Structure 1
Amino acid sequence: MSGSEADRNGADEGESGGGTETDHSGSDDAATGRDDTPARRKPVVVVVEPETPGNVGTIARAMKNFGLDDLKLVNSPELREDGEAYGFAGHAREDVLPNADEVTFDEVVANYHTVGTTAITGEDDRSHERFPFKTPVELRESLKTVDAPTAIVFGREGRGLNNEELSRLDEVCSIPADDDYPVLNLGQAATVLLYELRELTVAETQLPDADVVRAPEADVERFHGYFDEFLASTGQREHVRERNALLMRRLLGRAHPTEREIHSLLGTFRKANTKLEHADHLAAKYDEPVYPRE
């Protein structure tokens, strides 16, 4: 868990959300009718360990086509200006590609609401890493009324994102394709998905106002840390705890909690963890079970 206990307590006790509910109706902006509401944040595109520079260039070109400019690469090969990537990038060679950031997978998870992409999905809820999943259209509709820093994460050409990586991401998206050959080329998959998301990224498209501003991802990740502590205190078997932690990540990934909601959950689970820790301490002191273990 990041930060000191004092820092965490201070943030969690803000669960009433008072700082986010200020009434600005009497402000100068309201009086003048000026709208300074920030523009909707566009998704960033993340490519994990791409093997072929040409595919990175193709993805950059698709981003340029559909109004995106923030490309992040995890363990990317060298992208030379006289190489494949720039040759495939079209006009994206002028801005998207040269401005791409090298990041780590951990940094993406910590700072964004993440949507992992995969061709191979689970058929039912027994495969928690790959189910439930959204189609690109369903993802677009889900993100339409949510304002959050979002990352669309693509995997390797040959293997895609593995189960461990998918288990750390908030949502899963898959492009419907024929069962006999469901796997698309990486560049093709990115182009199809970004095309379907164009209503969120192309300026001339009229969008509804955001209904929800999602809580900062650092707070969401801190909640997952608290929830992991809570699960460890319950005495469940490790594989059950891992499954429940993943189910909670998927649930919050779909729910888009607000800052007020996540702070309330943080406060609740912090206090629950403190009480469970105290109960364990007393049980150890007096050599008594806290509650029956599995």
Structure 2
Amino acid sequence: MTADAGSSREDAHTVERRETPAVAVVDAETPGNVGTIARAMKNFGFADLLLVDPPALDPDGEAYGFAGHAREDVLPNASELSFEELVDTYHTVGCTAVTNEDDRGHVRYPFSTPAELAERLASVDSRTAIVFGREGVGLTNEELARIDEICTIPANPEYPVLNLGQAATITLYELQDLALEETQLPDVERTRAPEPLLERCFDAWAGLLGEINHPEPKRAKADRLFRRLVGRADPTEGEANTLLGILKRARDRPDRTDDSD
């Protein structure tokens, strides 16, 4: 076995045994908040909902009403536990909008954005919980002091505070690769048109410049700009064929006799 092969198998084993993070909600103020988070979990592949001091969740109430299809599995399978059990059992990531600016205040510092967190947690083999606090005040300093790391969503400094459902949805969206193997979007590989076809487009463009009597000294620059524009666009074969057809049609248009016609 080569070193590369051994490394690949080890990496595959690590990914296979890494658990999808749980989502914990501490002292939710309304059942609707819990339902909204459960729905976001269902959207992005998370299943393990942990509730600390939750409100009553009536199957006929707003929690189940807000949960969408998560009412069928995520919400009824939620586990209730104490905050002490949460921090003792899981590697905890506390979500907050308010951070400290540097290490002079280390209760809310250092911190990661959800995107940074997603990249790092992909290689962490530990029972992990993403922890959200109350709708009004979030997680307290006392709670954050017992949490392992901090996550925050970059936002307008004049108003960085999101409501609980928004914060959970954005965070879980960024972390979805930790939970989902695929999404509803088709896995379509974009293929650049073959170079001979693109060269025909460039020739047609040059022919059009001559047909419209574009000033001769400016044609080289126009050719170059068009080539660079198409080069950055990476057109597909279908797009290039359509472009070529339009350029040829414009170049080969019937001559106009005079303005009176």
Q: Above 0.5 in TM-score? A: yes
Which of 171, 183, 189 aligns to 2:161? It is 183
SS at match of 1:146: coil
Match of 2:23 in 1: 45
Q: 2:33 aligns with which of 55, 62, 68?
A: 55
TM-score (norm 1): 0.57
Contact 2:15 2:122 in 1 (8 A): no
Secondary structure in 1 matching 2:171: helix
**Structure 2 counterpart of 1:117:** 95
Q: Which amino acid in structure 1 is aligned with residue 89 of structure 2?
A: N
Aligned AA (2:17): A
Shift of 1:126: 1.0
Q: Secondary structure at the match of 1:147?
A: coil
Runs of 4+ off more than 3 Å: 35-39
Write the deviation string for residues 107-126 of structure 1: whole angstroms up to 9, x where unpaired.
01111111001010001111
- The 8 Å contact of residues 40 and 168 in structure 2, kept in 1 or not, is answered as yes
Cα distance in 1 between the residues matched to 2:44 and 2:74: 12
RMSD (CA atoms)? 1.7
1:82 is matched with 60
Q: Is the 8 A contact 2:15 2:123 kept in 1?
A: no
Match of 2:123 among 126, 136, 145: 145
Count of residues in correspondence between the two structures? 172
Between the aligned residues of both structures, percent identity stands at 67
Deviation at 1:37? Answer: 8.2
Tell me the alpha carbon deviations over residues 36-94 of structure 1, each in whole angstroms, 9 at most, x when there is no partner. 98532000000000001111101000101111110010111001011111001000000
Give the structure 1 partner of residue 203 of structure 2.
Answer: none
Structure of greater relative contact order (alpha carbons < 8 Å, 6+ residues apart): 1
Q: Which letter maps to 2:152?
A: S
Secondary structure of 2:111's counterpart equals coil
Q: Is the 8 A contact 2:97 2:152 kept in 1?
A: yes
Q: Tell me, in whole angstroms, the C-alpha distance in 1 between the residues paired with 2:176 and 2:72.
A: 21
Partner Cα separation in structure 1 for residue 182 and residue 158 of structure 2: 38
Q: 1: distance between equivalents of 2:106 and 2:74?
A: 34
Match of 1:104 among 82, 85, 94: 82
User: Displacement of 1:204 after TM fit?
Assistant: 2.6
Structure 2 runs not aligned, ≥5 long: 1-8, 184-261
